[in-house]
Structure 1
């Protein structure tokens, strides 16, 4: 009997996934362990264990509330309890005492817990932590910034560890917050910056792989299959509908979005609102972008959005700058202009949040500019090596308390003012000071008692949500503290509490227990009252058990909609007693379009700065993404479907439909039929659209067990990315087969594709490793030096790519080295090599492949639909 397209499609999936399905279809039993898992958690544990043994690291990225902590706990039971390895858990401080410490002590697992705040310390003693061979990082998306202390410290900790012994377990429901590079920087902790770490999975260079994935996110499929365990909430609901833990059936609540409309212009008054929006856009913010006031820049009329860079470059050369100094200046110029734009973006976000948030922010800016002006009038030009700290002062309130403004101002230093146009700077600062003073004078008259937005919240709490347990979120501490004070006055008989970064960890723990005693197994003490309304910033860490509540209110617009998913995850968790979760989002109905338009203009300027100065590195991660604006409008319309879409986007459940298609078939019809289909069989089908016409072949490498899916289009182009290759052959039940071309044509296609695959695999084996430019330059210099033991040692050292974390320092060293005599230069390079040893890595051992090593699983012709009679 000829095979149907669906049979061939599912045969390909079955052969690729059959080992994983052994557990997902009930084929694996747990070893004896006191840690009880639901069946979907057990399947995740088995997959994670296999990945850990192969790669030494794993990313567990199941949806929020699915119990990733328990998967990690089960792995710790294996490694730390059974095998007696030393275990280190790194987590947000708020989870140390409420989640990790009780669980680890309950199961007698030897451990050490460090908070992310501790890992962030500049003076962290890494030697003290080097003894730990199993490291769990909870909420690992906090390690997405390689410039942050916490990332650098963790990287240094793992880079020098023994790869044979070390196991790194990363837990996050949202590996991507702003871009795919968030994921890249987390994966670097596993690979120790070894670019070819996943060569055996078909990824030659991880860095270039991610550059491609930024344009085509589905390209991440191969990497995610290799290194991650990721199941969406929707997937678990569909395929584990009867999941139980310890005999109790797990309930997954339905989620509903509600839009709470309010009048933003009424909060400020029409005229004042328009003036504030205009002033935010017009602020000069000169102290943040001093380099644009250098004589060479001003004389060449660079308004940051022109095309005069060549003239400026010539002027800087005449002023005596080297090429390297000009490169750094260009980077600084663009960074400063972008920083000023980000400050404007931040003020716009605070404008929507609350009068209090905007007022405090503008007051900080006024105080800063006054001090700057006062120094300027005394002939001093103040600067800071890190004006980005000002952004931190005004940014979202997260885990750690922000720096005090006065401490920031005290650290400002004066620089040589002779290189700058002081008159232009003074004029710009004086204009900003006048505008800020005028705005603040009017903002001081506005009181929360008459605030239309606060009134809307109070009405909601006293009517529709009366007697409900409610969690209220704001991005900003100023807004949260104002709401706490105002609601306590308006609702004196309701127990209300606040959690922001100013609240000590021990007090946060008690507040969480009183707000959600049932899910935290907490008994109220004499004199304690259960908290009914909890107001929080995002300092209320992910991973908290707050599922006694079934309602979340988001008081601010979701400029980063993925954050909404993280917040819902605080209450939509395993063990929730609720059948529905209700999410209320405050929307400034009257001003939404004008806010989005203004935000778009600010972001356009930011993009223009990037294009003008011409650098690839982006700072837009700290700003809203215009692509999210449509999502924002859908949230405003109360579309429930947007939640699942956001969850999938943040979680990168790429290709989940493949395993879903297969499981759906197997649960209905079993695996016997697919198992009996001989290897090498195929069929034909009609294409859904002209771009999908071609020939598909699935191969397996008999020695490595790796699967390869190839699709050759009619124009001869070859698709080897698995997800894109299999899309044209995805088939529905009862989809009819098309007439199959002659067997000779099929055999010819298979032989050609097998030969092409073997050629590409062997090219991987022999491909020279790409070296960073600075290392290539050093090698070229070393080769022309007289032969010596030291020179030969250095040639050996620089032949392997160094981690990106070392390259900035190496560039500086190389600039110095070129000015030294050869012997001094060799000694300087030796000192660098001794202080920057290569991370110990497991080399990727690739072997030559022959055509006999590659067997055909199945094939399929995808024919033009016009061939269908």
Structure 2
């Protein structure tokens, strides 16, 4: 193979041009996509082509909805699965995008019934869909995908079957809440068991994550997530960037130390007949309520005492009720409707020792409730703090979040003398004059986000007290102040709260975040700050993102960058490299460029291997180091790209020195390809079959081997269909069906191969893959590596530019590794 020397800028453009996908059109109906949204669309299409799915995990407020709709416009059939509360927002966005062929489904509906994929995805192409799209695949968009982070639910299993055979796009700014397995479960919807590894290579390809600090948003007329092409109206703002978040010091609140002592000393209760002893869990729940408000603790104590009374009455009748029976006897917050225990509870017990245990627990609860009633004064301080914030931010809407309905209810009553204070919970919305609808409350508080005209001043809501019902998926960028009345259990929910206001289209220069500090002793008992920091670190390690509050900055400096963040930074650097004109050479010509760096020795190359273009790099920690590391990992590529950006333009005086460097690079590339080929021979890589598919392939090979020539000819069609199912089935839903199919192989008689070969037809999930029309035949993958571009970086390249064109066939990579 021959190579020619060119300027470093031209070689960088050649490297980037082969990997940066072209941007889609920015116009989407009456919406104009922002640059970072168009970039995300291109990256999502590339991930779907390879893996049939992607996770868009952009920070809250960067316009994931319109990004997803821009992806959807290239599909003939599109299904959106979203929480019921977000469906009005989706309908509005679909109207703006002018995509009438999209169908909406409630994520909660999959918990109650199983929607068959074949029924949901059947039907003709809707009217108005471009004819060229009719032959393409079906796309399923899952908004707030973290609702599916637990695999052992009926909802997850139903949606896994629903998306089988479809391209899947997951949307969630907080895909990981408590443990890394949650991210595995989300990616398994389209990756199947290959998601179990969570390798950096896989995460860098399928997780698209950009934060507010690494997106380049223009300043155009915008709505909540995209820019309009028409002139701005009265309820629109020219801001199209996400405002910064200013975290203020926690506001101290008074707490009674004796109340904490009573809670920690609470004796363990008697569980229901089918329950487990949960004394620590009950004390934890009471501590969380106490840190939220006096009203929340009073309600929690009242509920515990009602439950204890119901259990005590049943025990006195000689019965030990179950949890379901106890729940059926509790009516409201103040009454127990107890049926005849002898008829309703079936478990007869020796009740004397159990009654004593319940009475001890009830007596401790009564003592705690009496003490709390006499010493409770924190809610008044919370109300005064909110009054002070209203005065400190005049004219700026404020939203205050809490986990407990009782907390927002008590504060709403305490602030009822102030005009413009509203309450919104899962049950109702309320202002001083009475109840109003949820949509009316949002329109009065955030008319810009709801695309409504501004209300009259005497109807506007200045302070909205809300439960975490509003913490996800709702646009409230009219507000410029967020108040945490209590700290949520996960850092993801705290991000979601702030993200309601810190969004594209905010009219504010910054979003202020306040929080009410829990009692120091209570925080130590709950370990809430530590839990939040641990969960935030775990989320950043696998999903990435920027710090949005002070609690995450302590460990941020030493944290390892996630593969998703590194991939976004590498993508941004490669985009800058595309500014120059790429070099056009013959297919067998390698373009070489050089850069000078006094501290580092490295190279980065564009290599075609096994039918794919990929980047490889090598670097040494010192210029004199003998050991060179060759890698295709995203963090290593980012490091070498950073070195290249910091280096100076240079060329080579000595042709012999350049030739030696090129030979070494080609030799390293051959060795890397040889190791990659060996790994592929030993075990499956990221692109190989999943373990269950390999198991099915082995069963299929055994069945075919047992067939004679005549029978094999007769079963040729069934064998081909089975091979297509094994080769294309993916995702957790398809793998579950494939496991059942494989289990039938052992029970099928050896003399009846057709019975097993066609048994997969009884699995609707696998049948979806068989119905897919086979695409164009894939080009045979070459087992050779071809270097298309190579950028050398080191201290030996001097600024005396001399062009050269050398023949280096002896170090060609055109031989098989």
Give the TM-score taking structure 1 as reference length.
Answer: 0.66
Q: 343-352 vs 724-733, which deviates more?
A: 724-733
Query: Match for 1:284 among 242, 246, 268?
Result: 268
CA gap 1:695/1:47 in 2 versus in 1, 3 angstroms: closer
How far apart are residue 515 of structure 1 and its match?
A: 1.0
Q: Is 1:752 the equivalent of 2:671? A: yes
Other-structure match for 2:580: 671
| Partner-residue secondary structure (3-state), 1:574 | coil
Alignment length, in residue pairs? 722
RMSD: 5.9
| Aligned residue among 547, 554, 565 for 1:653 | 565
SS of the aligned residue for 1:573 comes to coil
Q: Distance in 2 between matches of 1:806 and 1:799?
A: 10
Counterpart contact for 1:380–1:415, Cα < 8 Å: yes
Q: Which range moves more in the overlay, 749-758 or 707-716? A: 707-716
Instruction: Label 1:806 to 1:380 Cα distance change in 2 as closer, same or farther (>3 A).
Output: farther
- Which whole-Å CA distance do the structure 2 matches of 1:696 and 1:828 have between them? 53
Alpha-carbon displacement from aligned partner over 1:269-320 (angstroms, at most 9, x marks no partner): 23223332x23xx6535527978xxxxxxxxxxxxxxxxxxxxxxxxxxxxx
Alpha-carbon distance in 1 for matches of 2:269, 2:743: 34
2:169 corresponds in structure 1 to 169
Does structure 1 residue 273 correspond to structure 2 residue 260?
yes
Alpha-carbon distance in structure 1 between the residues aligned to 2:285 and 2:375: 21
- 8 A contact 1:765–1:848 mirrored in 2: no
Q: Following TM superposition, by how much is the alpha carbon of 1:534 offset from its aligned partner in structure 2, in angstroms?
A: 0.9
Aligned counterpart in structure 2 of residue 598 of structure 1, from 510, 515, 525:
525
Any idea what SS the aligned residue of 2:507 has? coil
Instruction: Indicate the SS of the match to 1:706.
Output: strand
SS at match of 1:679: strand
| Residue aligned with 1:345, SS | helix
Residue 726 (structure 1) aligned with residue 717 (structure 2) = no
Sort the Cα spacing of 1:722 and 1:446 in 2 relative to 1 into closer, same or farther, 3 A. Answer: same
How far apart, CA to CA, are the structure 1 residues paired with 2:538 and 2:159?
37
2:89 is the alignment partner of 1:89: no
Q: Is the 8 A contact 1:696 1:712 kept in 2?
A: yes
Q: Name the CA distance, whole Å, in 1 between partners of 2:647 and 2:564.
A: 29
Aligned to 1:485: 413
What is residue 256 of structure 1 aligned with on the other side? 246
* Shift of residue 508, structure 1, vs aligned partner: 1.5
Which of 197, 202, 206 is the aligned partner of 2:195? 206
Q: Offset at 1:121?
A: 2.3
Please, which of 582, 592, 598 is the counterpart of residue 512 of structure 2? Answer: 582
Asked whether 1:234 is paired with 2:213, we answer yes
Match of 1:303 in 2: none
Q: Is 2:64–2:171's contact at 8 Å kept on the other side of the alignment?
A: yes
1:855 aligns with: 787
Q: Deviations over 1:509-535 (max 9, x none)?
A: 121111112332323679981211111
The alpha carbon displacement at 1:481 in A equals: 1.6
Tell me, which stretches of 5 or more residues in structure 2 are unaligned? 124-137, 232-237, 430-434, 540-545, 796-817
Q: How does 1:155-194 map to 2 (within 5 A)?
A: 155-159=160-164, 163=165, 166-191=166-191, 193=192
Q: How does 1:798-813 map to 2 (within 5 A)?
A: none
Inter-partner Cα distance in structure 2 for 1:190 and 1:386: 41
> Could you list the per-position Cα deviations for residues 363-404 of structure 1 after superposition, in whole angstroms to 9, with x for gaps in the alignment?
3233334433444455544444899x99xx9xxxxxxxx999
Q: Cα gap change, 1:846/1:288 in structure 2, threshold over 3 Å: closer, same or farther? A: farther
Return the structure number with greater helix share: 1
Shift of 1:482: 1.5
Contact map agreement 1:499 1:537 (CA 8 A) in 2: yes
The answer as to 2:47 corresponding to 1:138 is: no
Distance between the aligned counterparts of 1:36 and 1:636, measured in 2?
28
Partner in structure 2 of residue 460 of structure 1: 389
State how far apart, in whole Å, the 1-side matches of 2:500 and 2:338 are: 34
Match of 1:151 in 2: 156
Distance verdict in 2 for CA 1:862–1:242, change over 3 Å? farther
Q: Does the CA-based 8 Å contact 2:606-2:615 persist in structure 1?
A: yes
Give the structure 1 partner of residue 91 of structure 2.
100
Give the match for residue 530 of structure 1: 460
**Following TM superposition, by how much is the alpha carbon of 1:550 offset from its aligned partner in structure 2, in angstroms?**
1.3
Deviations 1:118-150 (A, max 9, x none): 343247676753437443322222222223343
Residues 521, 385 of structure 1: alpha-carbon distance in 2 compared, 3 angstrom cutoff: closer
CA contact (8 A) 2:180 2:538 kept: no
1:541 CA drift (Å): 5.2
Deviates more, 1:699-708 or 1:359-368: 699-708
Q: Are positions 1:68 and 2:57 aligned together?
A: no
Written as runs of structure 1 = structure 2, the 5 A alignment for 1:424-443 is 429-443=358-372
Deviations 1:635-685 (A, max 9, x none): 99968978999999999534322233344566xxx3237889953556786
What secondary structure is seen at the aligned counterpart in 2 of 1:498? Answer: strand
Distance 1:108 1:683 in 2: 48
Equivalent residues of 2:247, 2:512 under 8 A apart: yes
Distance change >3 Å, CA 600–CA 130, structure 1 → 2: same
Q: How does 1:427-826 map to 2 (within 5 A)?
A: 429-445=358-374, 451-461=380-390, 463-488=391-416, 490-491=417-418, 494-503=419-428, 507-523=437-453, 529-540=459-470, 542-588=472-518, 591-592=519-520, 594-600=521-527, 624=532, 626=534, 652-664=564-576, 670-672=579-581, 679=591, 698-701=605-608, 704-709=611-616, 711=618, 720=631, 722-726=633-637, 728-729=639-640, 730-731=642-643, 733-735=645-647, 742-743=660-661, 745-763=664-682, 771=691
User: Helix, strand or coil for the counterpart of 1:472?
Assistant: strand
What displacement does 1:539 show?
0.6
Structure-2 change in CA distance of 1:684 and 1:18 (3 Å): same
The answer (yes or no) to whether the contact 2:244–2:511 under 8 Å persists in 1 is yes
Tell me by how many angstroms 1:31 deviates.
7.0
1:349 maps to 2:260: no
Mapped to 2, the partners of 1:410 and 1:186 lie a distance apart of: 47
Q: Distance in 1 between matches of 2:646 and 2:731?
A: 52
| Residue matched to 1:112 | 103
Is the 8 Å Cα contact of residues 294 and 379 (structure 2) preserved in structure 1? no
Q: Report the Cα offset of residue 228 of structure 1.
A: 4.5
Instruction: Give the Cα separation in 1 of the matches to 2:793 and 2:738.
Output: 53
Cα distance in structure 1, aligned partners of 2:440 and 2:204: 40
How high is the TM-score relative to the length of structure 2?
0.70
Whether the aligned pair in 2 keeps the contact of 1:779 and 1:799 (CA below 8 Å) is no
Change in Cα spacing, 1:241 to 1:721, as seen in structure 2 (3 Å) is farther
Superposed displacement of residue 852, structure 1? 2.7
Counterparts of 1:386 and 1:182, CA distance in 2: 33
Q: 2:273 touches 2:323 (CA, 8 Å); kept in 1? A: no
Q: How has the CA–CA distance of structure 1 residues 32 and 374 changed in structure 2, closer, same or farther, with 3 Å as cutoff?
A: closer
CA distance in 1: counterparts of 2:517 and 2:8, whole angstroms: 49
Distance in 1 (alpha carbons) for counterparts of 2:248 and 2:4: 49
CA contact (8 A) 1:351 1:358 kept: yes
Q: Residue 95 of structure 1 contacts residue 541 of structure 1 at CA under 8 Å; is this kept in 2?
A: no
CA distance 1:283–1:862, shift in 2 (3 Å): farther
C-alpha deviation, 1:19, in angstroms: 4.8
* 2:18–2:613 CA contact under 8 A, matched in 1: no
Q: After the TM superposition, which of the residue ranges 536-545 and 767-776 deviates more from structure 2? A: 767-776
Structure 1 pair 812/42, CA: closer, same or farther in 2 (3 Å)? Answer: closer
Alignment gaps of 5+ in structure 1: 80-84, 196-204, 214-218, 292-335, 394-401, 604-622, 689-693, 864-869
Query: 2:305 aligned with 1:366, yes or no?
Result: yes
